[in-house]
Amino acid sequence: MKTLLLFLLALTVSVRAELKLAPVFSDHLVLQRHQPIPVWGNAAAGATVSVTLGGQPVTTVADRDGHWRVNLPASPAVHTPLTLTVTSGTATRTVSDVLVGEVWLCSGQSNMAWQAGNSVNGKAEVAAAEFPNLRLLTVPIRTSPQPASDLPAKWQVCTPETARTFTAVGFFFGRELYQKLGVPVGLINASVGGTPAESWTRLGALQNGEPEFAELLHTRALSLDDSPEKLAATKAQLAADRAAWAKKITALLAAPGAPDPRWFDPAYVPAPREWYNCAVPGSIESAAGARLDGSFWLRKVFDAPAAAADGDATLRLGAIDDYDFTWLNGQLIGSTGEANPDAYKTPRAYPIPAGLLRPGKNVIVSRVVDRHGDCIIRGEDADQFIATVSGSIPLAGAWQTKIEHNLGLEPAETYFSGIAGTLYDGMIALLVPYGLRGVIWYQGESNSDRAGQYQKLFPRLITNWREDWGQGDFPFYFVQLANFSPRQDFPTESRWAELREAQLMTLSLPNTGMAVIIDAGDARDIHPRDKQTVAHRLALIALSRDYGFTEKKFLWFKQPLEYSGPIFRQMTVSGDKIILEFDHIGKGLVNKNPAGGLQGFAVSADGQTFVWADATIRGDRVIVSADGVPHPVAVRYAWADNPAASLYNADGLPASPFQAREP
């Protein structure tokens, strides 16, 4: 009898110890309404597991590997907190404060990861973020060569503190749904800056023999090894590389550097192949035509009135990403280095001693040390000036830049974050098959040099996620690349336009939608702060297509809420004119160029060389032609990194960039 009791006790302890819920289930979660609710976890092999959520229990048996899963019955929205209870033998696991509503996964790279508190009007936005039935979960950044099973994060109630560091696009999107639907909303953020689409795609989904993915698989094979010892050694090497990198940056900051005395002569003419024109505020790297970390020189010649030279003054520049040493007329007046951990977002304010600022021509020289990411002078034009006793001297606009030290690129912070499958395994696999309404996605910058490949890669990612979740073709709504980089005065080739075209082509997949934001970016910053416009345009798609929102057309007749700007449908050539037709014209096509002419169109007689064209809206069509092109065969619209484009519908939504030619 004693032996039997000991055996039963050991068995009970074993069952209790092994009963687990998948880690995505934690207090304060939201479950998806109106569809079966998957709940899963682990228990002893063969153990009976019972799951209850405000009703009759649903029972299953753990398989030979200890895995179990049930599908709870579909439920309407539930605003009053429930308790999810899982039992097996004498073991019990509970999850409290459970709501049922709408669940969206927010994923992509840095523009999805961008925090709400850093968006336009971010401080006020998050201060008002008291939404008890809006719930947030952020998946920690992690790569893995195998599917991860743990999740060191929990669901949180939306408060000013939790909203501040949550994805801005995700928060503003979820807030709009929460306010308009009147049901609980759950948002899951799984995003990592600087990551390509292949790292978010399951490895097996790329192993289908298509030549477009061969290089991705080869890179993965060279980078990963199933040997734990090899992986540990690689991680250790990465840590060593990052430590060595930090020493190089520290060495660059050990002394101010030595600007050439000639640079302080206002008459100095920089060598054109050595110095580049740049805009402040703006991206220094983009102006220099380089993607690098290291150090740059900046130079600005400006005029000061005689009255400004009397008394003290202050040089004010926006935040310099990351560090700087700054001279005026040959004298070092200030610096910001590693001692300030927030240097990259700290506006500069350097005192100018009396007598240093002189009437007439003056020269500022800055040595900027860029630790990682884009080297940028942040802020608005109004943030760049010299404050004097007699007023302000504006400094925004044309500067010059020169590369000093090119250190390449900083070693990746996250282990293998750019390698095929590693973010899927580290951050997405553990969420499958949690019930979702759908996905919002903001990514593409890191694939902009491989647009042709992206035409197949991005649809493969979407199909992969849908297949793995097993919920059918759930909504997948994505953001087309914003406008970025200096504007060109003539038609040119554009990698970003090619990537936007690949995104546009992805609309051929069922239940996809695209938010066009070529009017909501920032020419000087790859991370535009206006995330509210992005989120609203994504929300329009969901409200119209998933939640049945309508708008009055006339009298009592209603139609679905328009959620997209004009999308190119077809072209017809008639003599020297191209006639364009569009879908999603909404309440009609409009030109939003205040100067009058419809901007953004170019035509070509050979499909290779394009010239600007005249374009006119006629009803629901656009007629395009150009002097000197009697027989156009191809047309482009908004085909640039940062296009000047003015075609919208009367619903206020911009047309998507496109290119087309005669068959």
Q: Is-cis flag, bond preceding 322, omega within 30?
A: yes
What digits encode the pLDDT tens for the residues 220-239? 887 776 677 777 777 788 78
C-alpha 523, offset from chain centre: 16
Joined tokens for residue 400: 């010059």
pLDDT attached to residue 555: 62
Output the CA–CA distances (angstroms, integers) from residue 528 to 382, 485, 517, 599, 603, in the order listed: 17, 12, 10, 22, 30
For residues 20 and 151, what is the distance between their CA atoms, to the nearest angstrom?
A: 13
Residue indicated by tokens 């979407």: 462
How does pLDDT run across 308-332, given as a tens digit for each residue? 888 899 999 999 989 999 999 999 9
Q: What percent of the chain has pLDDT over 70?
A: 95
pLDDT higher than 50, residue 5: no
The tens digit of pLDDT for each residue in 501-520 reads: 999 999 999 999 999 999 99
Q: With 90 as the cut, is the pLDDT of residue 103 above it?
A: yes
φ, ψ at 194 (rounded to 5°): 70, 25
When pLDDT is cut at 50, 70 and 90, the band that residue 8 belongs to is very low
Q: How large a percentage of the chain has pLDDT more than 90?
A: 75
pLDDT digits (tens, 9 = 90+) for 199-216: 999 999 999 878 999 989
- Answer whether 183's CB lies under 8 Å from 402's CB: no
Task: For the chain, list the domains and their CATH numbers.
Answer: 261-406 (2.60.120.260), 567-661 (2.60.40)
DSSP track, 526-549: SS-S-HHHHHHHHHHHHHHHTS--
Task: Tell me the pLDDT of the chain averaged across its residues.
Answer: 92
Flag whether pLDDT at 494 surpasses 80. yes
Q: What is the pLDDT of residue 15?
A: 41
pLDDT at 175: 98
Q: How far is the C-alpha of 137 from the C-alpha of 190, rounded, in Å?
A: 9
Q: Any residues with CB less than 8 A from the CB of 99 and at least 6 apart, and which?
A: 29, 30, 31, 78, 79, 81, 82, 133, 135, 184, 186
Q: What are the CA-CA distances from residue 83 to residues 27, 58, 93, 423, 659 (Å)?
A: 9, 14, 10, 32, 54
Write down the pTM of the prediction: 0.80
Model confidence at 415, pLDDT cuts 50, 70, 90, reads low
Return all residues near 493 (Cβ < 8 A) that are at least 6 apart.
none
CB atoms within 10 A of CB 55: 10
Examine the pLDDT at 219 and tell me if it is beyond 50: yes
List phi, psi (to 5°) of 531. Answer: -85, -15
**What per-residue confidence (pLDDT) applies to 427?**
96
Tell me what pLDDT residue 3 has: 46
Closest by Cα among 52, 143, 133 to 93: 52
Tell me what pLDDT residue 602 has.
97
